[in-house]
Amino acid sequence: MASGFEHPRVLLVEDDDTVREGVAAALTANGYDVVALSDGTRVVEAMRLRPADVAVLDVGLPVGPDGFAIAARLRSGRGTPVIFLTAADAEEDRLRGFDLGADDYVVKPFSVRELMARLQVVLRRAGIAAGSSLRVRDLVIDLVDREVRRNGALVPLTPLEFDILAALASTPGRPWSKRDLLAHVWGLERYAPHLVEVHVSSLRRKIEQNGNRLLSTARGIGYVVSP
Ligand code: CA
Q: What is residue 42's DSSP assignment?
A: G
> Residue 135 C-alpha to ligand 1 middle, in angstroms?
37
**Confidence band, pLDDT 50/70/90 cuts, at residue 5:** very low
> Residue 64 C-alpha to ligand 1 middle, in angstroms?
12
Domain of 79 in residue numbering reads as 9-125
> Residue 38 C-alpha to ligand 1 middle, in angstroms?
9
> Residue 85 C-alpha to ligand 1 middle, in angstroms?
8
Same domain, 218 and 194: yes
Which residues does residue 86 pair with via DSSP β-bridges, in sequence order? 107
Question: CA-to-CA distance for 107 and 93, rounded, in angstroms?
Answer: 10
> Residue 183 C-alpha to ligand 1 middle, in angstroms?
22
CATH number at 57 reads: 3.40.50.2300
Flag whether pLDDT at 6 surpasses 50.
yes
> Residue 57 C-alpha to ligand 1 middle, in angstroms?
9
Q: What are phi and psi of 127, to 5 degrees?
A: 65, 25
Same domain, 70 and 119: yes
Same domain, 158 and 175: yes
Q: What is residue 131's DSSP assignment?
A: G
> Residue 24 C-alpha to ligand 1 middle, in angstroms?
15
Q: What are phi and psi of 215, to 5 degrees?
A: -105, 125
Q: What is the CA radius of gyration of the chain?
A: 18
Same domain, 109 and 215: no
Same domain, 78 and 165: no
**Confidence band, pLDDT 50/70/90 cuts, at residue 150:** very high
Question: CA-to-CA distance for 9 and 42, rounded, in angstroms?
Answer: 16
> Residue 170 C-alpha to ligand 1 middle, in angstroms?
29
Give yes or no for a cis peptide into 156 (omega within 30° of 0): no
70 occurs within a structural domain:
yes
> Residue 17 C-alpha to ligand 1 middle, in angstroms?
10
Written as one letter, the residue type at 171 is: T
Same domain, 121 and 41: yes
| C-alpha dihedral (37, 39, 42, 43), degrees to nearest 10 | 70
- Write the pLDDT tens digit of every residue in 8-54: 889 999 999 999 999 998 888 888 889 999 999 999 888 887 788 89
Same domain, 28 and 109: yes
> Residue 39 C-alpha to ligand 1 middle, in angstroms?
9
Tell which phi-psi region holds residue 154, choosing left (phi > 0), alpha (psi between -120 and 50) or beta.
Answer: beta
> Residue 88 C-alpha to ligand 1 middle, in angstroms?
12
Same domain, 182 and 208: yes
Using the 3D structure, point to which of 125, 149, 179 is the last residue of a domain: 125
Using the 3D structure, point to which of 76, 108, 125 is the last residue of a domain: 125
Confidence at residue 203, expressed as pLDDT on a 0 to 100 scale: 95
Same domain, 81 and 160: no
4 occurs within a structural domain:
no
The total number of structural domains that make up the chain = 2
pTM score over 0.85: no
1 occurs within a structural domain:
no
